[in-house]
Amino acid sequence: MPPARPAKRQRRLPPDAAAAEETPSTSSRLRLLWLAVPAIIAGLAFYVASGRELGVDFTGANSASGAAEYTYLPALKKSNRDPFVVADLPGKGKGLVATRDIKQGELVIQESPLFTVPTSTSESPTALISRLLAAADPVGRAAFLKLSYVHFPEGLDPESNPAEVALAIFQTNAVAAGDQAGVFPRMARLNHGCSRAFNVVYTWREREQQLFVHALRNISWGQELLTTYTDTKRTRRERREFLSQQYGFKCTCAVCSLDAAASKDSDRRLTGITQLYGHLSSWGNGAIGGVEAIRTINEIWKLEDEEGYWSERGRLAADGAWIAASHSDAPAARLWAQLAIKWYTIEAGADNDLVLDIERTASDPQGHRAWGLREPLAVGGPLTQGV
């Protein structure tokens, strides 16, 4: 997977950390993982046996919007049980397709790693992966060996180089698991979509030592489940370049398939969001005040609404609560915390530590660890009316 962005747990700053590094948007990021693993190492995860590979062949049809959002209804039976099947999808290898309507916030995968690897090691990556794979659960090992891979060394025959194949599989499929990297054979079948095209997000939970995948938006029966492999708040050209280099495909998701004018508008919004995040982080070193910081969060929210980019909203709202609490604005801190609860719940589940933590701020803003660190100020609450 792409260059490492370890999925550490949310790190909050200590109460005295009003210094330059105290930037909510860098300190409190929910690592909603476009995580990746350095190309140098590789790994996999513990197979949960309910993952079914039906090998169904679907003929995709373009959606009514004309974008490359496929629905795969013709061959797909409705299911009351598993929310998805693994299916062969045109031009993508395998992928996950919804076998029933899935509600926003629903947990769709909970999976333990087959094995994890440290993000740096003195052992040869090829030897490391082969050793861990040999020691892994046999069902999981079989699932691992069926996963797809790209960037196999030129001139090598895969059949006679199984250790290199295992490394390539790891590199294509591993994601961050806390401070380690791991492969999760079920979730590894998730294909990529950019910006508003991805509809599920995954989080690593330290407590459970498992990966959780939640629906970011409602998903209809027959729709493909898509996650994101990278920070897609970048232009189409930049995204495509990255995905082509790291994963060997040209992205034709609904956002990458927009016509030139619509794509330009989307690029402008996504670039604007990134710039606003940069501006927001300068609150940490005092370059902007609390009112400006909150105004910036509201602007990000609005641009994201226009773009349909819904990811990382729990963290953004929690940043609002942090800033409001720092400036001793209890009503605003409470409102931002309530918004963070809503989005953290969607993105990571109601029983996630992030939700439990921000619930305390909603009920007792004065108890927030940043309370009163900055000058008292009415900074303001969220302008959003909801989703």
Ligand X SMILES: C[S@@+](CC[C@H](N)C(=O)[O-])C[C@H]1O[C@@H](n2cnc3c(N)ncnc32)[C@H](O)[C@@H]1O
Q: Which residues bind ligand X (CB under 6 A)?
A: 91-95, 147-148, 150, 172-173, 188-189, 191-192, 247-249, 251, 253
Q: Which is nearer to ligand X, 189 or 196 (CB)?
A: 189
Q: Which is nearer to ligand X, 9 or 92 (CB)?
A: 92
Nearest to 170 by CA among 148, 139, 155, 138: 148
58: its two tokens: 């679907």
Q: Do residues 161 and 136 touch, judged by C-beta distance below 8 A?
A: no
* Nearest distance from C-beta of residue 87 to ligand X, angstroms: 10
Q: Which is nearer to ligand X, 256 or 340 (CB)?
A: 256
* Nearest distance from C-beta of residue 155 to ligand X, angstroms: 20
* Nearest distance from C-beta of residue 134 to ligand X, angstroms: 22
* Nearest distance from C-beta of residue 43 to ligand X, angstroms: 13
Q: Which is nearer to ligand X, 66 or 278 (CB)?
A: 66
* Nearest distance from C-beta of residue 169 to ligand X, angstroms: 9
Q: Which residues pair with 87 in a beta bridge?
A: 56, 95
Q: Which residue is nearest to ligand X (CB)?
A: 93
* Nearest distance from C-beta of residue 171 to ligand X, angstroms: 10
Nearest to 31 by CA among 353, 263, 364: 353
Cα dihedral 36/350/233/175 (nearest 10): 10
Q: Which is nearer to ligand X, 75 or 362 (CB)?
A: 75
Q: Which residues pair with 180 in a beta bridge?
A: 118, 177
User: How many Å apart are CA 199 and CA 63, to the nearest integer?
Assistant: 16
Which single residue is written with the structure tokens 């030897």? 127
Residue 108 half-sphere exposure, CB side, CA atoms within 13 Å?
34
Which single residue is written with the structure tokens 């679907």? 58
Q: Which is nearer to ligand X, 36 or 276 (CB)?
A: 36
252: its two tokens: 């034709």
261-296 residues labelled b (16+ CB within 10 A) or e (exposed): eebeebbebbebbeebbebbbbbbeeebbbeebbbb
